Every structure is written in structure tokens, then in C-alpha cells.
Chains A and B, each alone.
Chain A
Amino acid sequence: MIGIQLLCIIFACLALFFTYIAYKRRDFSGKEMILWMMIWVVFLGIAILPETVSPYIQKMGFSRLMDFVVVIAFVVLFALLIHNYLVVKFLQKRIEKLVREEALKNLKQ
């Protein structure tokens, strides 16, 4: 087992643990917990047995698993970037609405 595999296994185990904690604290719903658990279990599986996915990776045109991981990482990062941008915009609008309503609360017509 190489160092990067070990790192990935530790990371996946920690992620599984924090997902469970988030569920217990009711930050995640049951559905969210299952979805995240599945993602981390698959990640853990690939980290332990990377050769099992090699045939599929090669079919997709990647010569190495690492290339695939890097591309997926970029896709995920950009998806998160857009998601975060939209969430911030949404929160900004809600805060603005709230503050403006508060300012106008005592205005008599």
C-alpha cells in the first residue's frame, strides 16, 4: 500500500465519522446521511482497491486512475464554487429583504 492510499483511507474514515456526527446532531437528514455515506464508502473502496476501477477508467480515455481523480476533483470544485455562489446570493437577498422590512416596520401609511 502506498502513502497516498493510506492518506485517502484515513481521510475517508474521518469523513464517514463526521457524516455520522452531523446526522446525530441533526445537521443532516437521513437521506443526506445516506448519500454522503455512499460517496465516502465508494471513495474508501477505490482507495483500498484502485485496480478494480482501472478497466472502466481506461474505457473513459484515462490512462491512469490519478488523471481521472484530478479531473473529477476539478469538476467537483467547480460545482461547489457555483453552488456556494448561488447560496451566498440567495442569503444576501434574504438578509436584504429582512433588513429592509425591519427598517419599514414602523412606517405609518
Chain B
Amino acid sequence: MMKTALILPIYNESKYIGNVIQEAKSYVDVVIAVDDGSQDASYEISKKAGALALHHTINLGKSAALKTGVTAALKLGIEIIIFMDSDGQHLPKDLPRFIEPIEKEGYDMIIGARKGGQKMPFLRKWGNKMLEWAAFFLFKCAFNDIQSGYRAFRANVYPQLDWKAESYYADAEMTIRAVKYHLKCKQIFIDTIYYDDFKGMTVVDGLNLLFQIFIWRFIL
């Protein structure tokens, strides 16, 4: 059995984080909760729920929170790292589906693609489609949800994935890098629950990411 860690980047998620950690604990060896300068009690709740809680004194964005989590995981000798959003949109019961293909089938990275059915907000659904097309035409990247926040990877491929992008763009950069470095990747479909339409990426973020994808074509 490989040693696994779930990394949860947290920003003002006191409402959901306790339950997410409680549920996830049984599927992984360590839950690393990185509180990214929350103003609410997210950090204290994470600690109480049994996570290894780390705290950014100021808000640095999701990308930096993930990096802090990965640094901690590598220090702990973790072999499989899993990222999941902490707002309750991803289901911890899917965790074994991310771990097994890496352990048993030798995959380097597993990307959890949101199904994009009725439940996904309209703009998000079509925004995702556009990003998907751009990634396909520019990188021959055939994944359905390039910026999904639910993903797992083998710790030893982190140097290839080490993203430079800020904020929410880190997930997309990881996917693009995985394709560029020919990592053995697999996509699995996951269910998502949207509690709050105003969280996560906005239309402007989506357009920015589209621009970033074009830039990555030349600099990555």
C-alpha cells in the first residue's frame, strides 16, 4: 500500500470543511488542510476534525496553498498526493477511485472530470467546453475537464507538474504539463455538488485562463 495524502486548500470554508475532513479521513493516510488566510474558523475546525492543519497568515491563492500542501506531503514521505476542493463539491467517497489506478495500474496522474450534466451552472459548463477545445487544439490534450480541482498524482512526478500559474489556473497548468511530459494519465468521471454559484472561477477568470493556455503553448 502506498502512503497517501489528501490536500485541501481552504479559504473561508468553515461551513463544509469539518464534514469533508471527517469523511475523507478514512480513505487516506493523512489529510493536509492548508488554510489560506481565512477570516472564519476554518483553521480551527480543520485541526479539530483531525487534519494536519497548516495556516497561511495572508491569502496567497489556491496555487500557493496547493504548493504548501505538496511541500508538507513530500516532507512526510507521501507517495500519492490527491487534491480536492474543500467547499464540499467533491465527494470523498470517490477517493479510492483516484488511488487504485495509480497503485495497481501504474498511472502517474488521475483527473476527476466533472460530468457537466444538468447540475453544472450554464456559464461554467460552456466555459469549460471552450477551455477544453483550446487545450485540445493547442496541446492535443483530450481531457474533458482540464481545470478540475479533484485529481491525484504520484509524488515523484511533482517536479514535472510544478506549476507557475497563480490562483485557479494551477489545475489547468498541471493537466497541460502532464500532457507535455507524456505522463501516464487517466480521466475518471466524478459527481459534483454546487452549493454556491458565486465561488470558484468567474467568467473573467475563464477568459484569463483561455489566454494563459495560448501563452503556455509558447512558454511551457
Give the interface SS of chain A, mostly helix, strand, loop or mixed.
Answer: helix
Asked if A96 CB lies within 8 Å of chain B CBs, one says yes
Q: How far is the CA of A60 from the CA of B161 in the complex (A)?
A: 51
Q: How far is the CA of A95 from the CA of B55 in the complex (A)?
A: 14
Query: A107 and B54: CB pair below 8 A?
Result: yes
Q: Which residues of A contact B31 (CB under 8 A)?
A: none
List 6 additional contacts besides A99-B56, A100-B67, A100-B71; criterion CB under 8 Å: A96-B60, A99-B64, A103-B55, A103-B56, A103-B57, A107-B72
Q: How far is the CA of A100 from the CA of B67 in the complex (A)?
A: 9
Asked if A104 CB lies within 8 Å of chain B CBs, one says yes
Complex A-B, nearest 8 residue pairs according to Cβ-Cβ distance, in ascending order: A103-B54, A100-B68, A99-B56, A109-B75, A103-B68, A96-B64, A103-B56, A96-B60
Chain A contact residue count (CB 8 A cutoff): 9
Query: A100 and B56: CB pair below 8 A?
Result: yes
Given A109-B75, A109-B76 in contact, is the A104-B54 Cβ separation under 8 Å? yes
Q: Which residues of A contact B67 (CB under 8 A)?
A: 100
In this complex, what residue of B is CB-closest to A98? B57
B residues lining the A interface (CB < 8 Å): 34, 52, 54-58, 60, 64, 67-68, 71-72, 75-77
Contact of A104 among B58, B60, B72, B77 (CB under 8 A): B72
Q: How far is the CA of A96 from the CA of B34 in the complex (A)?
A: 14
Q: Give 28 CB contacts A-B under 8 Å.
A: A95-B58, A95-B60, A96-B60, A99-B56, A99-B57, A99-B58, A99-B64, A100-B60, A100-B64, A100-B67, A100-B68, A100-B71, A102-B56, A102-B57, A103-B34, A103-B55, A103-B57, A103-B68, A104-B54, A104-B68, A104-B71, A104-B72, A107-B52, A107-B54, A107-B75, A107-B76, A109-B75, A109-B77
Q: Which residues of A contact B72 (CB under 8 A)?
A: 104, 107
Q: Which residues of B contact A95 (CB under 8 A)?
A: 58, 60
In this complex, what residue of A is CB-closest to B72? A107
In this complex, what residue of B is CB-closest to A105? B54
